[in-house]
């Protein structure tokens, strides 16, 4: 029998309520040691709430959390924190300190860790070493936050939207840093809205909505679960019927969109002509038709009827 890889994070039945909202509604997650796990979901899905519970920053109302084989609040929290690297979704580091002073400060909290200057170089802030944090651009601040998360040489890295607001080059830089961290055996749990990022970086992803997990698997598995190579988005002026679209050859599924339909199509060669024939037969006028390779984004839309970025 093959031995299951050890778990870096395990949580079961996680529930967190705020006054009138249930931010996390019974979530189960397992992150394996050495993998990069992505948590996807629209705004307000409960990603940050979940991650902060795993980081030991807030306590769940219900459920069980185990991080690197330990539990929070058992008297060994500091020892556990020493093994974690954390980037919060929004932290504004002290503006009056320089990049170097900030990283040194964080370094001093860890008994073992990386060299502060080395980490600054790694996130590409060498030139900004002596600059005040308040004078950095948004993307530079984000990389500084990453440096602070890495300087304790963690086993497990939590990144809450590490590349939101970064330019393409800075995003590539962050991806490289994450890859380097993993090549040293580190485990990563990240949240993101960017499908491309999840597909490039994550071994497995969980899709969350309304505090629940609605899908789990490798990005490739999730895309394959649509049973479609191509996604066709169609908008037409006139009556189109979802049910009859679904019966067309090659069409695997249909989801309504604000001004038309989105079709997952297995075989575009037979699907597209049939679709055009159907539009013609119904006397509707085609307004727009787009097709693209199926992605995680389509999985999400298929599951929830909403774009990932929707609130």
Partner 1 sequence: MSDRPHPLLELTRARVLEFLREPEAVFWVFVFPVLLALALGIAFRSRPAEVARAAVVSGSEAARETAERLGRAPDVEVRLLDLPEAEEALRKGRVDVVLEVSGASPPAALVTYRFDPTRPEGRAARLAVDDALQRAGGRADAVPTADRPETERGSRYIDFLIPGLVGLNLMGSGMWGIGFSVVVARTRKLLKRFAATPMRRSHYLLSFALSRLVFLALEVAAVVGFGWLAFGVAVRGSILDLSLVSLLGAAAFAGLGLLVAARPRTIEAVSGWMNFVMLPMWLLSGTFFSYERFPETLRPAIRALPLTALNDALRAVVNDGAALSDRWPEGLVLAVWTAASFALALRIFRWK
Which residues would be at the binding site for ligand ATP (CB under 6 A)? Answer: 18, 21, 23, 41, 43-49, 89
Stretch that binds partner 1, among 12-20, 53-61, 182-190, 287-295 (CB under 8 A): 53-61
Residue 56: Cβ within 10 Å count = 18
The single residue among 89, 164, 225, 253 that binds Mg ion, judged by CB under 5 A, is 89
Which CB atom, from 60 or from 260, has the smaller least distance to partner 1? 60
Distance CA 141, CA 145 (A): 6
Distance CA 141, CA 121 (A): 14
Pick from ligand ATP, Mg ion, partner 1, none: which does 304 bind, CB < 5 to 8 A by kind? none
The single residue among 26, 35, 110, 252 that binds partner 1, judged by CB under 8 A, is 110
Which CB atom, from 34 or from 44, has the smaller least distance to ligand ATP? 44
Distance CA 194, CA 302 (A): 17
SS3 90: coil
* Residues 6 or more apart whose Cβ sits within 8 Å of residue 35: 5, 8, 187, 188, 203, 204
As measured in angstroms, the least distance from the Cβ of 43 to Mg ion is: 7
- Write the binding mask 134 to 163 for partner 1: x where contact by CB under 8 A, - elsewhere: --------------x---x-----------
Q: Is the dihedral of CA 34, 169, 148, 125 positive or negative?
A: positive
Q: In the 8-state DSSP scheme, what is residue 118?
A: H
Pick from ligand ATP, Mg ion, partner 1, none: which does 56 bind, CB < 5 to 8 A by kind? partner 1
Q: Which residues bind Mg ion (CB under 5 A)?
A: 47-48, 89
């Amino acid at each position: 029998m093959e031995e299951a890889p050890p778990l870096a994070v395990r949580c079961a039945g996680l529930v967190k309520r705020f006054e009138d909202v249930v931010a996390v509604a019974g979530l189960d997650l397992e992150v394996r040691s050495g993998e990069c796990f992505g948590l996807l979901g629209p705004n307000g899905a409960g990603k940050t709430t979940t991650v902060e519970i795993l980081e030991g920053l807030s306590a769940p109302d219900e459920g069980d959390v185990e991080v690197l084989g330990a539990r929070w609040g058992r008297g060994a929290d500091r020892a556990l924190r020493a093994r974690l690297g954390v980037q919060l979704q929004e932290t504004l580091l002290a503006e009056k300190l320089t990049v170097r002073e900030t990283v040194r400060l964080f370094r001093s909290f860890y008994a073992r860790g990386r060299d502060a200057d080395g980490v600054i170089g790694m996130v590409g802030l060498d030139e900004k070493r002596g600059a005040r944090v308040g004078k950095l651009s948004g993307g530079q601040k984000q990389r500084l936050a990453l440096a602070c998360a890495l300087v304790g040489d963690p086993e497990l890295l939590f990144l809450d939207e590490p590349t939101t607001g970064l330019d393409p080059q800075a995003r590539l830089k962050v991806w490289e840093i994450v890859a380097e961290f993993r090549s040293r055996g580190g485990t990563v749990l990240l949240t993101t809205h960017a499908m491309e990022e999840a597909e490039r970086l994550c071994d497995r992803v969980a899709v969350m909505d309304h505090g629940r997990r609605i899908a789990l698997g490798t990005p490739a598995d999730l895309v394959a679960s649509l049973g479609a190579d191509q996604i066709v988005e169609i908008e037409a002026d006139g009556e189109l019927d979802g049910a009859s679209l679904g019966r067309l050859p090659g069409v695997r599924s249909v989801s309504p969109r604000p001004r038309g339909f989105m079709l997952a199509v297995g075989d575009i060669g037979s699907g597209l002509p049939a679709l055009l024939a159907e539009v013609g037969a119904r006397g509707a006028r085609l307004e727009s038709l787009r097709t693209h390779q199926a992605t995680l984004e389509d999985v999400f839309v298929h599951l929830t009827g909403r774009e990932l970025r929707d609130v």
